[in-house]
Structure 1
Amino acid sequence: MGLLDGLLGNASESDAQSIQQELAQLLSSGEQVQKAYAIIRDLIIFTNKRLILADKQGVTGKKVEYLSVPYRSIERFSMETTGHFDIESELKIWIRGQAEPLSKTFRDDKSIHDVYRALGEYAL
């Protein structure tokens, strides 16, 4: 169900070890991937030192933009769950020095709760 969840916009937990290998050249010495979630082609990655958002671009997804956010820079975060007519939930993360929050859209409440809980574990 993980692939189908990803295609539908639901976050599915990814294997931290495979993400560790994929990001080996980006990670600092001693940095370990703790949790990772895939949303369609994008990734939300929690390491022991920072939050990494990987935005895969283009048709093939070969071009990737990585946004690295130290946990100490996260000022606050919020979650908006789905409703009767609104089928998308949204996660917002405010970063020190930026006026607008980072925003990720999810298609179900279960997956956003998992990511929100992980964000709370690492950022607080």
Structure 2
Amino acid sequence: MGFLNATVHDPVDAEKDYRHIMAPGETVRFAFKLIRDAILFTDKRIVTIDVQGMTGSKKRFVSIPYRAITTFSVESAGHFDLDTELTLTVSGAAPIELMLSRGADVHGLISLLTERLAR
């Protein structure tokens, strides 16, 4: 799978949009849009939302507990590269590769992943 271009999505808006799949007390910490799809990093898990079909009425939600992430890597943007590449290796699944747009709180996301994976 190639890198998916991910633009920043306001976590508050994402939490409102996807409240129906959230556990009580679960909070969206980081959210990204991928054209029609989305990926949410909550305080409890990672959720991918795959919008399917022409009308977008069919959606696939995948919940990935942080304990399923075996490694992550970040390649920071250089002077001529405006994006940051994030790769999450998920146990038993294909890696998740995101190209985070400028403006993403990469340091905050790294802190969340480090905190959750160090448990």
TM-score normalised per structure 1: 0.67
Match of residue 41, structure 1, among 36, 39, 42: 36
> Does residue 1:29 correspond to 2:24, yes or no?
yes
Q: What are the ranges of 5 or more consecutive residues in structure 2 without an aligned counterpart?
A: 78-82, 115-119
Which residue does the alignment assign to 1:18? 13
Contact 1:35 1:45 in 2 (8 A): yes
The higher relative CO (CA closer than 8 Å, separation ≥ 6) is in 2
Q: How many residues align?
A: 107
Please name the residue that 2:53 is paired with.
58
C-alpha distance 30-89 of structure 1, shift in aligned 2 (>3 A): closer
Is the CA contact 1:44–1:54 (under 8 Å) kept in the aligned structure 2?
A: yes
Higher helix share: 1
Q: Which consecutive unaligned segments of at least 5 residues does structure 1 have?
A: 1-8, 83-87
2:13 counterpart SS class: helix
2:65 aligns with 70
RMSD: 2.9
Give the % identical residues: 30
- The equivalent residue for 2:117 is none
The structure richer in strand per residue is: 2
Alpha-carbon separation, structure 1, partners of 2:96 and 2:69: 13
- Residue 117 and residue 57 in structure 1: after superposition, are their counterparts in 2 closer, same or farther (change >3 A)? farther
Aligned to 1:6: none
Residues 45-80 of structure 1: per-residue CA shift (max 9 Å, x gap): 111111111111111222111111111221112356
Q: 1:90 to 1:58 in 2, by over 3 A?
A: farther
Q: Are 1:123 and 2:85 counterparts?
A: no
CA contact (8 A) 1:72 1:123 kept: no
Q: How far, CA to CA, are the matches of 1:118 and 1:102 in structure 2?
A: 21
Q: In structure 1, how many angstroms separate the alpha carbons of the residues matched to 2:84 and 2:10?
A: 24
